[in-house]
Amino acid sequence: MGTNFLSKDHAVHFGQLRSMLPERYRNNKEHLSLVYLISGNEELRQKAFPYYKPDKGVFEFTEMFAEQDFSSGMRILAKLAVVLYNRGMEVTVNELFKLDVHNLELALEAIRFRLTTHERGCSVGHSETVE
């Protein structure tokens, strides 16, 4: 089963961000699901990626929330990024239902990505897009 990207831009941004990961994280489900989510939304990518330090293996989400101004929808996606990365926050289904259709699809695909990517390797090197 391949990776479902929401657009060609999503696939391109994912590939770019993944290529920045140290080799030890390139097939790591926590890192890859975070990269998948933030590569699918421009605003989230701009606000969250500066706090993600893959070379150190950390996501400085506490600082991110203190320093960034998120709309309610972006805050939900940012919290989901933390959940996918290390479960350092909680996101409820009710919160996910507040997302617009595009961001809900992105969130659900990111969750599916986290659950189906295995440490032994993942097939995300090829860009598969929906539509």
Residue 40 placed within a domain: yes
How many residues comprise the chain? 131
Q: Is the pLDDT of residue 12 over 70?
A: yes
DSSP secondary structure string for all residues of 59-105: E-HHHHHHH----HHHHHHHHHHHHHHH--S---HHHHTTS-HHHHH
Q: Is residue 2 part of a domain?
A: no
CA proximity to 31, closest of 122, 128, 99, 107: 122
Tell me whether residue 127 is in a domain: no
Residue 130 maps to a domain: no
Answer yes or no: pTM beyond 0.75.
yes
Query: Would residue 128 count as lying in a domain?
Result: no
Q: What single-letter amino acid sits at 8?
A: K
pLDDT at 115 > cutoff 70: yes
Q: pLDDT of 75-101, one tens digit each?
A: 999 999 999 999 889 999 999 999 999
Structural domain count of the chain = 1
- Residue 60's domain comprises 8-115
Q: Report if residue 37 sits inside a domain.
A: yes
The predicted model gives 27-40 an average pLDDT of 95
Residue 129 lies in a domain: no
Six-digit token pair at 35?
Answer: 């990269």
Q: Is the pLDDT of residue 35 over 70?
A: yes
